[in-house]
Amino acid sequence: MPTETTPADFVKSIVQNLVSKPDEVAVEQTEDDKGTLLTLKVAKGDIGTVIGKGGATAKSLRTIVRVFAANTEAKAAIGLKIAE
């Protein structure tokens, strides 16, 4: 029986493959009446990698999160915040 992947686990698995310190990647998932917010925390030296040139990587991560939510049973809006 396959286990269900949460949006936080999904983002964490992607980001761990992008950064130089994958052990320091943490994703906190909070929910309120507006929807779900994922807060991504990475090592200080990896923040530039996660944001990318002109924010391209961050924009792509947000797009992937929205697609993941649309393909699961997520009924509320989902957002991604990148923090140090």
Q: Per CATH, is 7-83 categorized as 3.30.479.30?
A: no
pLDDT the model gives residue 1: 43
Q: Please report, in tens digits, the pLDDT of each residue of the chain (84 residues total).
A: 456 778 889 999 999 999 999 999 999 998 888 788 899 999 999 999 999 999 999 999 999 988 888 877 665 677 888 887
pLDDT the model gives residue 41: 95
pLDDT the model gives residue 68: 84
pLDDT the model gives residue 32: 81
Domain ranges of the chain: 7-83
The token duo for 24 is 């320091």
pLDDT the model gives residue 80: 86
